[in-house]
Structure 1
Amino acid sequence: MARLPLEVSSEIFVQCLPEYPRPQTHTITRLVPPLLFLRICFTWNQIALSTPTLWSKMVLESPYDSKLEALAERWLQRARSRPLHISFWRSNVDTRIGSLIWGYRSQLKCLKLNVYNDMYDELDEEDEYAEFRLLFGIAQPEPLPFLRTLDLSGLNSGTLSPLPIIQLLRIAPNLSQLSFCNLALAVDAFDEQLALPNLRRLAFVREDPELDEANYELLDFISAPGLEQFTLDLDFGDEDDIISFLQRSSPPLLALEISGTENLYSFDILLSLVPSLTRLRIKYPDSLAQDLFSALAQTPISVLPNLRDLELESAHDSDVLWDIVVRALRNRREQIKRFRLSDSWLEIPPHVLATLRDLVAEGMEMWIQKTSGLERNINMVGTV
């Protein structure tokens, strides 16, 4: 290693990193890169300390103590002027880590904040910045000019005020990617409208089905006129918030991903609001599948005229649906270039299979995937 150029050694070290390294004070966690590199030998130690990129990402997990705070500060100092990617857990107990991170705000490029939805229950309602101060331990917000990605996750049941989130968005004018996971916002009298002109990707997902209070309330307060990718979980909240947001933003949306088990009663309205869409992915669509293919089968073409890539997972398998699928794909064979469909009980009638093979012969890329338990068989139509 000592004979290699520094840039080569540094790149080898960087490739050994986990996605988000964790600076921990426990002995066992010090045996994980990049802290491990400091303990091997003098040469490795010097290479690690001379490679700021090694220290530009970190996850800070509670509980926090003075040792962890000191280690985190040394970690960030070693990153020098590199863009920072930081994830940390915010409880309602300790603001020291938040204050430390805020001291490096001019370098923050990616911030993942995990919060407790009920952490603001006992704050002074007359203090405009009380909630924000609880996050970062500062007097009032200051600009985050370099921040591009913001991920916010709720860790428990309860609701969170939208105010600190709006305040955070307000000071991040160059934000391009925003995601919410299990986040439950309280409905209150907050009526500010905030435009996010540089936002390109927006996602609402729910990873914990027990957190059934998660919702789309933030969409009432923002617009994203430049949005290109939108990810939705229909189990997340009220579809009216989605429709109003799209009507208000009129984004040039290119990709839309919909998941969840709830029905989307305004699906036709939603489709009419995204004519620029080129990629659509629907997971667990059930009732949406028939509505979608019925719309795609209509002539003249008016719904999703620019659709090129269509993917459905776990759609109902029935002769009725297959007939609609065939009509839709025939009708859109000049537009749709890629089609993917997967289902646990997928059976393709022979006459449908013949038609799908004809579409493949005409140039459409098509994957029909059958999943059953642990078994996964992937067949490309035209070769089976």
Structure 2
Amino acid sequence: MDSVKNHHQQVVERKEKIMQSMNLHKGLLSALWRLPTEILSQIFNHCLPETIFLLSPLSHRVEAPILLTRICQRWKDVAVGTPDLWCRLYVEADDEGWEQAAFCYDLWLKRSRGRPLSLELGYHYPTKLRGLLQPHMRRIKFLRVDVEYFRDRHPHLFATDLPALQELTINGMVNHDIPPIAQFISRLPSTMRSLKLNIIPCFRIEHLSSLGSVWAYLTDVQIAVCNPNAFLHLLQLCPNLSSLNVPISSDRKEPMESFTHTKLQSLCIILHDSPLLTRPLSDLFNAVSLPNLRALEVSRTSPHGSSWPHEDMQALLARSKCPLETLTIGGRSTITDAQRAEYVSLIPSLEAVNYAHTYF
């Protein structure tokens, strides 16, 4: 009897603990249920991964927004009814198993309910991809693709199908495929503002010219060019440019004409200089004037060549009379404390002169 009483007492104690836990969780659940749908939607938006792209219903990692649909029925209803959660999509699938993948992608796109889309196309995709995306082409504002997408055997998205496109990123290594890429870019709409060509090898002047009138609309560009003259030509092609990130190769020495760009505010130069050219950075500094420049970063990757062209940098800053706020020197280039102090005294708006310990 004593043993039975002891077991009974233990069961009663466990029951009390369970009841306390249930009451506690009911209180938490009640607070969540009392949140208005609009607030819950805003919370869900902050649950999305920070990456701009790479959201997919086929991902092995279960994260927002898919994760939010698996908590409870109300969360699923709110998540499915929040279009902004479904505006970023990464598409990659082979012809095998495409029907199931297409169903998932189509459902995802329909949940975005007409909102602007950020789309990334993976390295592998089926011949039926165009049919899936056709109803949503006019909503694509941000597009990222691999150079493989421009091979002849793949079904291309036509630039004329993307009337709302604002940002295009192309990654990869090309051999002889710059012409089809240039043809695509040359037909992009006047809505374009950002073009990032993370492509190897670099672009020559004739390649830049072949991209057509799209340069006139751009405010943000990232592209590798073959020499300082191509850099100057790029500035001439982009009168509205505000931000430029440009690796420059010094493959040959040519005369450089002076040029002033009145709107450029942020410039990052990564110079891959050659031992055959002794003053490529000096020649470049002496050729440009940038009266609206606010942030400048300059890096040299080669141990060859001359030392940091301090006097030419001073001349550039004095000539431009720009409101420079930050100057960053990196890679193989170094400056002394005395040179740093001279820059600060020359430009009253200069707040920081940094040194980036980075080798490319």
Q: Same fold (TM over 0.5)?
A: yes
Matched, 1:366 2:352: yes
Q: Which residue of 1 aligns with 2:16?
A: none
SS at match of 1:116: helix
Question: How far is the alpha carbon of 1:78 from its aligned partner?
Answer: 0.9
d(CA) in 1 for partners of 2:290 and 2:230? 25
Matched, 1:95 2:131: no
Question: How far is the alpha carbon of 1:163 from its aligned partner?
Answer: 4.7
Contact 2:54 2:120 in 1 (8 A): no
Contact 2:41 2:78 in 1 (8 A): yes
Q: Which residue of 1 aligns with 2:281?
A: 289
TM-score normalised according to structure 1 size: 0.66
d(CA) in 1 for partners of 2:272 and 2:47? 39
Q: Which residue of 2 aligns with 1:231?
A: 222
Q: Which residue of 2 aligns with 1:300?
A: none
Matched, 1:304 2:262: no
Matched, 1:38 2:38: no
Give the unaligned 5+ runs of structure 1: 124-130, 183-205, 207-211, 296-302, 374-384
d(CA) in 2 for partners of 1:293 and 1:218? 21
Contact 2:330 2:355 in 1 (8 A): yes
Q: Which residue of 1 aligns with 2:329?
A: 342
d(CA) in 2 for partners of 1:327 and 1:141? 43
Which of the numbers 184, 187, 194 marks the counterpart of 1:177?
194
Q: Which residue of 2 aligns with 1:152?
A: 170
d(CA) in 2 for partners of 1:112 and 1:173? 18
Q: Which residue of 2 aligns with 1:219?
A: 209
Map residues 20-35 of structure 1 onto 2, 5 A cutoff.
Answer: 20-25=53-58, 28-29=60-61, 31-35=62-66
Contact 1:333 1:359 in 2 (8 A): no
SS at match of 1:314: strand
Instruction: Name the structure with the higher helix share.
Output: 2
Contact 1:143 1:171 in 2 (8 A): no
Shift in CA distance, 3/165, structure 1 to aligned 2, threshold 3 Å:
farther
Letter in 2 for 1:135: H
Aligned length: 314
State the identity %.
21
Q: Which residue of 1 aligns with 2:139?
A: 107
Q: Which protein has the larger Cα radius of gyration, Structure 1 or Structure 2?
A: 2
d(CA) in 2 for partners of 1:244 and 1:327? 21
Q: Which residue of 1 aligns with 2:246?
A: 258
d(CA) in 2 for partners of 1:115 and 1:276? 30
Q: Which residue of 1 aligns with 2:261?
A: 274
d(CA) in 2 for partners of 1:338 and 1:141? 38
d(CA) in 1 for partners of 2:327 and 2:71? 49
Deviations 1:183-237 (A, max 9, x none): xxxxxxxxxxxxxxxxxxxxxxx4xxxxx48767363240233444443313xx5
Question: How far is the alpha carbon of 1:313 from its aligned partner?
Answer: 3.1
Question: How far is the alpha carbon of 1:305 from its aligned partner?
Answer: 5.4
Shift in CA distance, 222/47, structure 1 to aligned 2, threshold 3 Å:
same
TM-score normalised according to structure 2 size: 0.70
SS at match of 2:121: strand
Shift in CA distance, 58/254, structure 1 to aligned 2, threshold 3 Å:
closer
Which of the numbers 53, 62, 80 marks the counterpart of 2:113?
80
Q: What RMSD, in angstroms, separates the aligned Cα atoms of the two structures? A: 3.8
SS at match of 1:34: coil
Which of the numbers 147, 156, 180 marks the counterpart of 1:135?
156
Which moved further from structure 2: 280-289 or 317-326? 317-326
Shift in CA distance, 251/74, structure 1 to aligned 2, threshold 3 Å:
same
Q: Which residue of 2 aligns with 1:378?
A: none
Which moved further from structure 2: 364-373 or 143-152? 364-373
Contact 2:231 2:248 in 1 (8 A): no
Contact 1:25 1:67 in 2 (8 A): no
Question: How far is the alpha carbon of 1:345 from its aligned partner?
Answer: 6.3
